[in-house]
Chains A and B, each alone.
Chain A
């Protein structure tokens, strides 16, 4: 927190004023799948989820996560390979990983080690060939498309190396995109002021309060990544997945972004999974795991 205060002016004062960001009174629509809705755990009694568990037990290579109540996110025996010109290139060869709530985990690996693929599988952007992903003890990699979309929208926040902001939209609109995606036209329109307020507060928290109306091409790399983080957080996800968030930034800016992530982890009660090839960046996380040869090799703290 101290470091953050020193590096990002105006951020700490803004965050101190607001404290924890206000929760919108009815931000969660009633039609959200139980997996998507908060609280994190105790979802098994709801429809569908117990069934997905039973399916997961049928898989030979998958063990039930050992400490389901303790782990927010678990990965068991993930296998994934890509097909290029009829040659199968195995990327992940059975990855097991547990992430505790509130943890800031860094996955380190060389380029091509499959760390991005692992992150995509956790974030439900892709399907594993084998293995399973569990969220709060419930299997999520085989849920119906609609629920996958909802999970991506509400439960996971994604940050990419190349920021990936939409060039046609202003910073503020970019940040509001996940809110718009997750809600119907009318439900968004009714509460647009509320959402807008939350987006502006978030932008002020990460130090972009003066860039609301700017287009992405008018922002610097650090600003873009901050905007991308704000976009990832607008829907109050449980887990932030960051794919080389500092890969395109100079070391100083990268460190700022990392500090910002740490601060946000505390203030927004986030769990962060970050992949990077940069050990100095990874060192700023709570825990580091190393991915090489398609498996988690060692763990370090």
Chain B
């Protein structure tokens, strides 16, 4: 009883000891904040990756692909049908994207993905990342009349404006075609009107979309018809500057795709496509790389269709598993069933292994470093406790003279250490949770003070800092901090316990 009474009184009267646990508090708070933010980011990133990639990817090791996806899907179902919810074949091929901005042609390296518009949405979050509400419900490679999102539908708060998207669609296409005709007329009679005047004449002029292509296509009226639809990663068609999206292209514009055919050596083929939507997964690596086109068109273009059977080759089959199915177990079953020299079968985690491992490694290293901060705080406690024991030497002598055992005296200081740890960790917990809760406001405030945005949505695709507080992590951090406080008080407590009562009483 006297131990707790004295601990409590020491806690209330020794402010210097409270100073020593400020570093415990800060360490705990920082660890909670860092872990929450890292976990939030990891979670967000994994969700995205998973949404982009589907659970399992059954891939050909060759760009040529494998024939007859229906037969393969049947085989896959035979091996692991009980765990499979949906499958879709895809063709993946590296290629080049060309489009005209003003008078200049832009060329971008891309990954061209042929998708089956009926089944693609079943295996991944593909359709969630599209910009037209109808396409999100029902994927189509036909250009929509209009109604593309002008605000980011994935943001749950304020987002960067993308006003130009209001123009996108058939309306834009018709306007661009009319403008192109006018320019052609002007070019035929250059003495009457200069092109720039013609551009200014139109009230809807967008400096990036003055002219698309001069190639006349026989019996093709761009005002009423479109080429094959293509969905571009939003990073290919836009850039972000000064807190706003700027588009180089809009749905309704035409682009050229160039890609190698199958066969050795491959030939280069090229075709014109009409942009019908943008794909925004918020993983810049994908958004600046992916171009989705209908799988059948891509197969024809690449010569992947077997003329005798009419069946196409594919590169990969994306598989979505039923909820609760063990991804790794299904992968292993499939790996055993298919020849490994031809097929690479990976889970989405396998294919993103290095990235996920890097994030985990980062979190682990941060935790080690921050825990070292708390350990440093432990030495502060140790030093201050030694001082307190020296200062309390006479009191310790009195307690021993009154019959307190060595263990009793020791437990005063151990208890004091524990109490300091509890107070420090508790304050750290409160501080950390408050910080996490208001992290966006704090980031804004810091940005305003320093004039430098801490969390710049131009760079990160999230508008808010994602945070997840894991109770177990918090529990471990608290336990660790308290343990360190107790460990730091062991030495001073031992010293106190070993004090000789007579010498302690004589101490002045």
Chain A interface (Cβ < 8 Å from any Cβ of B): 117, 120, 123, 125-126, 145-146, 149-154, 158, 160, 164-169, 173, 177-178, 180-185, 188-189, 231
Contact = CB atoms under 8 A, between A and B. Distances in A.
13 contacts: A120-B501, A123-B401, A125-B401, A146-B405, A149-B403, A149-B405, A151-B403, A158-B402, A160-B398, A173-B5, A180-B1, A181-B2, A185-B1
B9 interface: yes
Counting chain B residues whose Cβ lies within 8 A of the other chain, the interface size class is: 20 to 34
Given A125-B501, A160-B505, A166 B398 contact: yes
B505 A164 contact: yes
A126 B398 contact: no
Contacts, number: 74
Contacts of B408: 181
B395 A166 contact: yes
Q: Which of B4, B5, B500 has the most CB of A within 10 A?
A: B5
A276 B2 CA distance: 31
B305 interface: no
B416 to A, nearest CB: 12
B387 interface: no
B303 to A, nearest CB: 86
Nearest to A161: B505
Nearest to A183: B1
Nearest to A153: B403
A166 B404 contact: no
A169 B9 contact: yes
B502 interface: yes
B399 A177 contact: yes
A150 B402 CA distance: 9
Contact of A158 (B1, B10, B401): B401
Given A146-B405, A152-B402, A168-B10, 8 more contacts: A125-B505, A126-B500, A160-B398, A164-B505, A166-B399, A180-B2, A181-B403, A181-B404
A117 B406 CA distance: 21
A166 B395 CA distance: 6
A150 B403 contact: yes
Given A166-B398, A177-B2, A182 B403 contact: yes
A168 B391 CA distance: 13
Interface string B7-29: 00110010000000000000000
Given A166-B6, A181-B2, A189-B1, A125 B502 contact: yes
Interface in B20-64: none
Contacts of A165: 398
B13 A168 contact: yes
A189 B2 CA distance: 11
A152 B401 contact: yes
A126 B502 contact: yes
Nearest to A182: B403
A275 B4 CA distance: 34
B228 to A, nearest CB: 82
A288 to B, nearest CB: 25
A152 B403 contact: yes
A221 to B, nearest CB: 17
Contact of A178 (B9, B13, B403): B403
B393 to A, nearest CB: 12
Interface of B: 1-2, 4-6, 9-10, 13, 394-395, 397-406, 408, 500-502, 505
Contacts of A123: 401
A245 to B, nearest CB: 14
A290 B484 CA distance: 54
Given A120-B502, A181-B2, A154 B400 contact: no
Nearest to B4: A185
Enumerate the 6 nearest inter-chain pairs by beta-carbon distance, A residue then B residue, closest first: A153-B403, A180-B2, A168-B9, A180-B1, A152-B403, A188-B1
Contacts of B401: 123, 125, 152, 158, 160, 164
Contacts of A117: 502
A78 to B, nearest CB: 14
A196 B443 CA distance: 55
B406 A145 contact: yes
A123 B403 CA distance: 10
A297 to B, nearest CB: 24
B86 to A, nearest CB: 63
A150 B408 CA distance: 13
B415 to A, nearest CB: 11
Given A126-B502, A164-B394, A189-B1, A153 B6 contact: no
A161 to B, nearest CB: 10
A181 B403 CA distance: 7
A36 to B, nearest CB: 10
Nearest to B14: A168
A172 to B, nearest CB: 11
A152 B2 CA distance: 16
B258 to A, nearest CB: 83
Given A126-B502, A164-B394, A164-B505, A169 B403 contact: no
A88 to B, nearest CB: 17
A188 B408 CA distance: 15
A149 B404 contact: yes
Contacts of B13: 168
A178 B402 contact: yes
B491 to A, nearest CB: 22
Contacts of A167: 395
A165 B402 CA distance: 11
A31 B5 CA distance: 24
Q: Which of A158, A164, A182, A184 has the most CB of B within 10 A?
A: A164
A184 B399 CA distance: 15
Nearest to B1: A180
